[in-house]
Amino acid sequence: MTHPTAALSPAQAAIDREARYGADNYTPLPAVMAEGHGAHLIDVDGKRYIDMMSAYSANNLGHLHPRVVGALQQQLGRLALVSRAVHADNLGFFCAELADLAGLDACLPMNTGAEAVETAIKAARRYGYDRLAIPDDAAEIIVAANNFHGRTTSIIGFSSDPNSRRGFGPFAPGFVTVPFGDAAAAEAAIGPRTAAIMVEPIQGEAGVVVPPTGYLAALRRICDAHGILLIFDEVQSGFGRTGEMFCFEHEGARPDGLIVGKALGGGLLPVSAFIARRSVMDVFDPGSHGSTFGGNPLAMAVARESMRVLVDEDLAGRSQRLGVVLMDALRAIDHPAIVAVRGKGFWVGIEIDPIFTKAKAVCLAMLRRGVLAKETHDTVLRLAPPLIIAESDLLQAVMIFAEALDEVAPRRSV
């Protein structure tokens, strides 16, 4: 008897199998990747793509960076996991190196970005009770509208996205939402129960929304004046993505707590962390927080080498320099469907006028031409290439974007 998928292409068979046995919680582009090297991906049919997504910044170093792969292989020959029931010989080195990179005092390693956000929320609340004399179970954290901090039930409770929230309540109280980019609104929302302000320096999922210049520095001054914590979520914007090691450095607005992840794992493993001032980290005591895999030796070896590569290859500086090239090339495209091009470094959002076409249609046309990019909220196409991408690949991807836009949104004669 012939298997029902026998006549299908390898790509379609893989897509159908995933649809049958997986959950329908993503709408992937119709390409099945089999290999990745540097800034390129290769699908199961052997077609090559320029990667302009970087797995939402998890692949800042590109695919299979040889130094990070080497660190993983070396650590695999020694020790992979012991849990936090005992000490590991490289955990302390990781914590010291990451804290020093961020200009803070201590870090608590986790696995995913959402776990690191949850860690920050717990730290802010306990700090509010222990240090700010906020009544028990009454602490509030000020957040920004249109945020994206993850998908756990507590995080989606303060999301503005109805699709993220529908059917998952009830949600935890304790979050006050203000407009993103409006420092005055954030200050006006501070009350006697406020423990912290927590925002993304640039909102990625919202469409690479860059706040007004001075917003981050203003938040720093406001938090200092009111004696509350400032926490930045740099899971996507961190580790060179915006042209500095961390996005807050553009304004010298060092936070009290910093949430990182994605690129920290070098594109190989999930690694995240909450980094903070010592007084903030000291709210934790034994049994108050943890993770079996958080801080495991294998992840620590990979993350340490990832940080070294970022520094040794000056990838933040490369993001800044070639980010200007990317932005200039995009803004030189004269097409009425382009409403705006915004971003910082190697993180760009191109807003598409829905009268002409949807952003997903542009992504699909780019995919057919060998460039991987993804839309958000129907109207914005996001570009976030690996920081190691060659300038020639970058410019070719821009040319293909222009061709794809002309295909799906033909210019109308006046």
pLDDT at 309: 98
| Identified catalytic residue from 51, 94, 232, 233 | 233
pLDDT at 5: 47
Q: How far apart are CA 316 and CA 404, in angstroms?
A: 29
Look up 233 and say whether it is catalytic. Answer: yes
Burial zone of 316 (CB within 10 Å; 0-12 exposed, 13-18 middle, 19+ buried): buried
Percent of the chain exceeding pLDDT 90 equals 96
Average pLDDT, the chain: 96
Contact 199, 232 (CB under 8 A): yes
Q: What are phi and psi of 232, to 5 degrees?
A: -110, 135
Q: Which residue has the higher pLDDT, 412 or 206?
A: 206
Q: Over 80: is that where the pLDDT of 346 sits?
A: yes
Q: CA-CA distances (angstroms) from residue 168 to 26, 120, 157, 171, 177?
A: 17, 22, 9, 8, 19
pLDDT (mean) for 311-317: 98
Contact 98, 107 (CB under 8 A): yes
Instruction: Kindly report the pTM of this predicted structure.
Output: 0.96
pLDDT at 1: 41
The pLDDT tens digits of the residues spanning 93-111 come to: 999 999 999 999 999 999 9
Domains of the chain with bracketed CATH? 10-64+315-408 (3.90.1150.10), 66-312 (3.40.640.10)
The pLDDT tens digits of the residues spanning 139-195 come to: 999 999 999 999 999 999 999 999 999 999 999 999 999 999 999 999 999 999 999
| Identified catalytic residue from 232, 246, 248, 262 | 262
> Given pLDDT bands bounded at 50, 70 and 90, which one contains residue 413?
very low
| Identified catalytic residue from 94, 148, 274, 293 | 148
The pLDDT tens digits of the residues spanning 236-271 come to: 999 999 999 999 999 999 999 999 999 999 999 999
pLDDT at 308: 98
**Strand, coil or helix: what is 175?**
strand
pLDDT at 3: 52
Q: Over 70: is that where the pLDDT of 6 sits?
A: no
Look up 122 and say whether it is catalytic. Answer: no
Q: Which residue has the higher pLDDT, 8 or 303?
A: 303
Look up 360 and say whether it is catalytic. Answer: no
pLDDT (mean) for 60-81: 98
pLDDT at 4: 52
> Given pLDDT bands bounded at 50, 70 and 90, which one contains residue 7?
confident
| Residue/partner pairs of 99-104 with CB below 8 Å, 24 or more apart | 99/275, 101/245, 101/307, 101/311, 102/245, 102/246, 102/258, 102/260, 102/275, 103/254, 104/254, 104/257, 104/258, 104/275, 104/276, 104/277
Q: How far apart are CA 199 and CA 143, in angstroms?
A: 6
Contact 157, 172 (CB under 8 A): yes
